[in-house]
Structure 1
Amino acid sequence: MSTITFAVAGATGRLGRHVVDVLAERGHRVVPMSRATGVDVITGEGLAEALTGAEVIIDVASWHSSEQAAATEFFRTSARNLHEYGRQAGAARIVVASIIGADKATAGFLAAKKAHEELLLSGPLPVRILRAAQFHEFVGQLLDWQPGDVARIPALPTQLVACRTVAEELVDLALAPGEPTPGAPIPEIAGPRKETMAQAARLLGARRGVKVVGVDGSGVPDAELAADGAFLPGPHAKLAGPTFQEWLDSRS
């Protein structure tokens, strides 16, 4: 396989670090783009230089909070800039990581990701989307948000997936020949086991000395949709391990 130059937006983030690793392991040239590397997808600082010679842009940049309006504005600006600067640089496509169920969301961060998908698809460059389940790593973040000996975690269904697994699938999608068939389902990647977020959190909580109490989704955006399985993988999704338990065991 010939070497391709990839520019990765959000390269130092939770998912971006794995994307950079997978691309490097497969022998491709990677241009990491983040504020830590002097590239800002919002202000445009360093973006033209970073994208010079890039053949494919992988967008895994994300906003740091779940507030819908601020996240939507971040994605609106980043989508516009990646299209504009990417087109000027001669990039062939943008490949973006999204979230399973984003198309059904009406509020919160998932609604911002829905807008992100729509904004990217309306731009001049071809776009490929991979929707992923929530990451294994997200469970620890939920516990971090509730310091103390007890954490109340929504008992909403999920099918957690490892960041590394998502990165591998995203790179496969970026390298796939041809363009997506119009009307075909957007690819999805999820873990092999359905569980509730509270069940997964109990496994991690036991290792941290934190008691996890499962609660309903009150206060969670689109909690009723989530409870009905709207954010679980569809029948066409690829399911790939490790499970959350296996992932935890591998880190101990």
Structure 2
Amino acid sequence: MTSKIAVAGGTGVVGRHVVDVAGGRGHDVVVLARSRGVDLVDGTGLDEALRGSEAVVDVTSVSTQSGRGSRRFFGAVTTHLLDAGARVGVGHHVALSIVGMDRAPDGYYAGKALQEELVTAGPVPWSLLRATQFHEFAAQMHARLQVGPLHPVPVMRSQPVAAREVAERLVALVEAGPSGRVPDLAGPEVLRVPDMVRRYARATGARGVVVPVPLPGRQGRAFRDGSLTAGPGADLGTQTFDQWLAALPG
């Protein structure tokens, strides 16, 4: 059975795949983005865009490591999506969160913690999927963290998963109906993030020296001790990091 699905963050890393997967399964997809006349932070245009949608998939993100900034963003976006969804009769809110973020709810993860609180206590029936970092995380680290020729990268263990596989799981949740908190989704292997960034740089011909940097505090400990990798009962994807690298445009 096909549905009308609204995708918040539909132009992002995972959102593009959600739009593609949902469209390929015959669903009518609406992308919620400023370029489409919708401002998720202040709620402009949201009621009209959501009208007639059976489900909302929220895969929004923000580039910040500030806990205050992250909470401000996810608090506003989640509140607007839930309130507008309740007003126009959306029956299912599907949210994407991060494996292990509750063990170190600081910085960016502080906003994700607030998002989960709002969704689980909100007025719209919900499903919540936590996933590990995507393969694209290595490219993001290389691009964002640079001091001259150096790329300081956090000492971190990750279990990277394919963004496409996350999208497929999210669309399957839409089709299954409100399911609450579902098993986490992670990739098939645990890797060290500095090594991932080096391998990405080699594969793409990018220059610079990757320097591992241990971060302080409980978030730094969570990065290092494997808190952000899959625990018992998690589902595992199939695409490895090397397979993702091999599929990058030449």
Report the TM-score when normalising by structure 2. 0.92
Give the partner amino acid of 2:47: A
Question: SS at 2:40's partner residue?
Answer: coil
Matched, 1:157 2:157: yes
Question: SS at 2:201's partner residue?
Answer: helix
Alpha-carbon spacing, 1:75–1:209, altered in 2? closer, same or farther (3 Å): closer
Question: SS at 2:5's partner residue?
Answer: strand
Deviations 1:184-241 (A, max 9, x none): x642111101111011111111132435435242258601122121111111111112
Alpha-carbon spacing, 1:165–1:4, altered in 2? closer, same or farther (3 Å): same
Question: SS at 1:13's partner residue?
Answer: coil
- The equivalences for 1:1-252 within 5 A come to 2-145=1-144, 146=146, 148-177=148-177, 179-180=179-180, 186-206=182-202, 207-219=204-216, 222-251=219-248, 252=250
Give the partner amino acid of 1:213: V
Checking the alignment, whether the CA contact within 8 Å between 1:97 and 1:131 is kept in structure 2 is yes
- Displacement of 1:43 in angstroms is 1.5
CA RMSD of aligned residues (A): 1.8
Number of aligned residues: 247
Report the TM-score when normalising by structure 1. 0.92
Question: SS at 1:222's partner residue?
Answer: helix
Q: Percent identity?
A: 38
Task: Give the unaligned 5+ runs of structure 1.
Answer: none
Deviations 1:102-142 (A, max 9, x none): 22223111122111111121111112111111111121111
State the distance in 1 between where 2:54 and 2:139 align. Answer: 35
- Displacement of 1:149 in angstroms is 3.8
Task: Give the unaligned 5+ runs of structure 2.
Answer: none
State the distance in 1 between where 2:156 and 2:211 align. Answer: 9
Give the partner amino acid of 1:8: V
State the distance in 1 between where 2:61 and 2:84 align. Answer: 18
State the distance in 1 between where 2:82 and 2:178 align. Answer: 20
